[in-house]
Each structure stands twice: as structure tokens, then as C-alpha cells.
Structure 1
């Protein structure tokens, strides 16, 4: 497959394929994974708000949409009142830097005129790579500062279908966490770490040795999500989909656990999804 063949020029989408796996990336719609099909079966919930989108330059909620950087307080758009949620990268068009049969790279400028509000200049890059045999997918994101340093986070928000092909048994979520971030009535961590509780969840968990979560669709497919990141949000309160979200910090982390990005110290994070059929 040539570089030109990977791109659907009508929609600006990028299609990658290897083995029996097909992946579609939509850079114009927040550089989200619009589709992941394995053996012809779709794994991601369809729709312009779904698929799997990058969360950047923050993950989850920011309390009242405000964060501090030194003596400056910045207000982000309150898109999940009373908070700001999931960053701005999912709402902007990214540029396709390169694409071939199995990998592609995308970028956007944090302070571009057409970008969503963010007060600091910098660049975000997302690399999408399918294994040559189509058995895994690796996503890598980097946040670079081109001026003043700023706090930032990055991660991914995939919407996995609860049931494949609209039927069969519900997906099973298996993981072992060192702790759960206690969630307050405002959906923000209280600052207390508690023993992990049974679901349903809309909660952040700590995994200091790296994220390891297994999704199993009985008799159909097993998918392992791993990352060197220490936090993962698990959300399974919807009827049609579940979310497993590796991220570089906890919700509201720009305020409670800021990780500064500087011109010489970018933020980098990656996650790998590996699967096998069970039939």
C-alpha cells in the first residue's frame, strides 16, 4: 500500500491496515481513532464524539475550569459544568505529518489561531503504529513547549463497545490497582487514596508499576491495555460502551499534581493495545 493509498482524500481520514486489522484515524475530528476493526469486527463505539480520542493538554476534569501556573490563573472553557473536561485537542483539526501502510504521525499547535483556547505556545504530536502482523496498536503522544513552561497532561479516552456486533456477552474488565482516587460529589479526586472498590466505575486508579488492564469479550476477543503511565480512569456506567483511559496524571492534576513541560523537557506518554481472538 502506498502513502497515497492510506489516505481517504474525500474525508481527510487516514486508514492503516495490517493482517486482519483495519484502523481509521480522523485528524480533522480531534485526531481520534474513528474505527478499529479486527477480523471485520468493530471494537469502538461509532459517532463523532466517540471512537478513541486523545486527551491533551489535560485529562479528565479541571476544577471550575481553572488552573494555576506560578502566579497566573487561567480559565478554560467550562464544557462539563462546573468543570472543564478532557482537554482541547479533541476539538481541533490536527495535521497529518506522514502516513504509510501501518503508521502515521499527526500534530497540532497549541496556540494556533484556529485552536481551542490554551494560553501557552507548544506542539502536540500523536504517533499511531500498527504492528506488522496486525496484532497490536501503539499510540504515543508528546507535548512540547516552545515558550514559557506550563503544566500539562496527556492520555487517551477509548470507547470500547460493551458487546461486539451488537450481541453476545458483556465485556469483562480485569485489573489490579494499588489504590483508587477517592471521588467526591463533584467528580473530582478528594486527595485521599483508598482501597479499590467494585464497580460500576467512573474512577481513577493508581498503578505505579504501569497500567495493565484486560478487556475480555467471552469467546470472542481479549484485549490488553498497557502503558508506562501510573494512572488509568475506568468508566463503565454507560449501556453501550466502556472506557479504559491511561493518562499521565489524575483528574484535576494540573492543580493537584502539576507536571511542567519546558522547552527542554517535553511530556511523553504511550499505550499499547494487544489482542488475540478466543474463537
Structure 2
């Protein structure tokens, strides 16, 4: 078993300063990047409306604010344990008895480019006890007048590696969530997704779903449509102040439930688009 580890930079509950913010703007959309705080989007504002939970509202816990990339895994890895290439792998536990959301959200990302409406960030994945495979992650951010386009890519290094990618936005509690998934992964007593996926249960949710098409949030006279090039979405709406809608390339505990192997040099990507419009009749 992997030891219980609580090193500050990788502890999901530890505070993490936002550091210097880089503002990207186009039309009525404003995006504040915090590369030092896990490469996350710290603020997201459209036509004056704030859409993300801020660091001060989250008790400063690294895991609970902004919108951050999940790489090289998304969601929980049960007890930090999985098998890959015929060997047992143990990851440090950073969320109770489990390893959660990868290593990207708790480490500073390098700025390769930042302009008025776009940025490119890079993170060299460790090849140590936190993540034994290495590799490199990049994220590209493009801001348009009413649309934010995000792309997250991970590339294996000299050795093969497993990978699941995701984005974790903490949206301020919307007035409505428009979401009709086709299936849901049931959770067991440890709160971990299991197979087989079945009929969706009523909320509140902290669950992974199969869903084709957009997910829509309605708030403050605005309608935010979310779309991604994946059919896996995690929705957490159990908090009174927030709702998380997270596109992922696979389910939580994906290294066991739906293993995805990257050969040396192979890439995996996830595109995520957020588009705003007025919430008119209908």
C-alpha cells in the first residue's frame, strides 16, 4: 500500500496562493489565469457576472476553487493503487484514503506564451513517487467575445503511461442545471465509481455520467453552454455554493475501470468549450 502522504504542494486540502494573475480579454469575456496555482483559471467573468468560486470562498483549499486541469488522471484513484504494464503502482494519498485529480492542479505551470486573448502553459510531469512515468502536459487557452476554448494535452515521455484527462470548474451555484445523461457509474461505499454503468439516479450528485451533447448552466440572465470532445462528465452539485461540471476522457478510477495506455511519445487530448448567451424566453 502507498503511504499516507501530506506534502503541502500536492495536498488537495492545503492552501495554495493564486500568485500573479494574467488577464485575457475579448469582448465581454474576461479570464484570469493563475499559472503558479496549478495552471488554473482563477476568475471567469462575462458581461460583469462572475462564474467561478474564488479562492477566498473556498477556504483556500487547493482542490475547491477556480477551474483547473486534471492530469494525468481525473477523479479518485482508489487508495492510490492500480496495475500498469504488469506491475503494481502506488501513488501518494492526497484526499483521505485516495489519490485525486492528478498532479497538475497543485504545481506551478510554465508560461510559454501569454497575449491579450490567448496563452499556452506547460508542465513537466514528475518521474518520482508522485508520478513514476514522467511525460509532459500542455494547455492552450483562447478567449473570444463570448466563448472560451480550452485544450489540454498530455504526451508520454520515454516510457509508456496510463492517462485520463479532465477539467474541474467550480461554478458558482447556478439557478438551473440543464443536463439529461444517458447513464451513470454507480458509487460504492468508498465513494468510488464502479461498473457497470446504469440508469441515472436523482441528485444531488457526486457522480460520473455518460452524456452526449451540451451541458447548460443558467444564472444571472445568462446561459452558459458547455461542450467537450468526450462523453464522460462528472457532476458535483452537493455543495450549497457551487456546482462542478467536469468533462473527462474516462471515469474516476479510470486506470482500473477503463485503462488507457499511451505508448512512448503518444498524446491524449481533451477539448472543452464554454459559450455564453443571454437567457431569453424558452
TM over 0.5: yes
1:38 positional shift: 1.0
- Please say if residues 211 and 246 of structure 1, whose CA atoms lie closer than 8 Å, have aligned partners that are also in contact: no
Partner of 1:35: 43
The question of whether the paired residues in 2 share the 8 Å contact of 1:223 and 1:273 is answered with: yes
Residue 148 of structure 2 corresponds to which residue in structure 1? Answer: 137
**Count of residues in Structure 1 that have an aligned counterpart in Structure 2:** 256
Choose from 168, 172, 175 the match for 1:157.
168
Residue 196 of structure 2 aligns to a residue whose secondary structure is: strand
Q: CA deviation at 1:17?
A: 0.3
Instruction: Note the C-alpha offset of 1:176.
Output: 2.0
User: Does the 8 A contact of 2:158 with 2:265 survive in 1?
Assistant: no
CA contact (8 A) 1:231 1:247 kept: yes
Note the alpha carbon deviations across 1:87-122, whole angstroms, 9 max, x for none.
Answer: 110011100010111110000101278xx8110121
1 CA distance for matches of 2:175 and 2:88? 42
Deviations 1:142-185 (A, max 9, x none): 000111111111111100001xxxxxxx5211112121111112
User: Structure 1 runs of 4+ off > 4 angstroms?
Assistant: none
- Kept in 1: contact 2:74–2:102 (CA 8 A): yes
- 1:195 alignment partner in structure 2: 199
| 1:211 shift after superposition | 4.7
Match of 1:78 among 93, 96, 99: 93
Matched-pair contact (CA < 8 Å) for 1:146–1:263: yes
Give the superposition deviation at 1:68. 1.4
Structure 1 stretches of 5 or more lacking a match?
1-9, 163-169
- SS of corresponding position for 1:90: helix
Give 1:18's aligned residue: 26
**How far, CA to CA, are the matches of 2:260 and 2:195 in structure 1?**
17
Query: Which residue of structure 2 aligns with residue 227 of structure 1?
Result: 228
CA RMSD of aligned residues (A): 1.7
So what's the TM-score if we normalise by structure 1? 0.87
Q: What 5-or-longer segments of structure 2 have no aligned partner?
A: 1-17
Which whole-Å CA distance do the structure 2 matches of 1:154 and 1:211 have between them? Answer: 18
Q: How does 1:226-265 map to 2 (within 5 A)?
A: 226-265=227-266
Q: Rate the CA distance shift 1:51–1:191 in 2: closer, same or farther, 3 A.
A: same
Counterpart check, 1:179 vs 2:180: no
Q: Distance in 2 between matches of 1:216 and 1:185?
A: 33
Secondary structure of 2:225 counterpart = strand
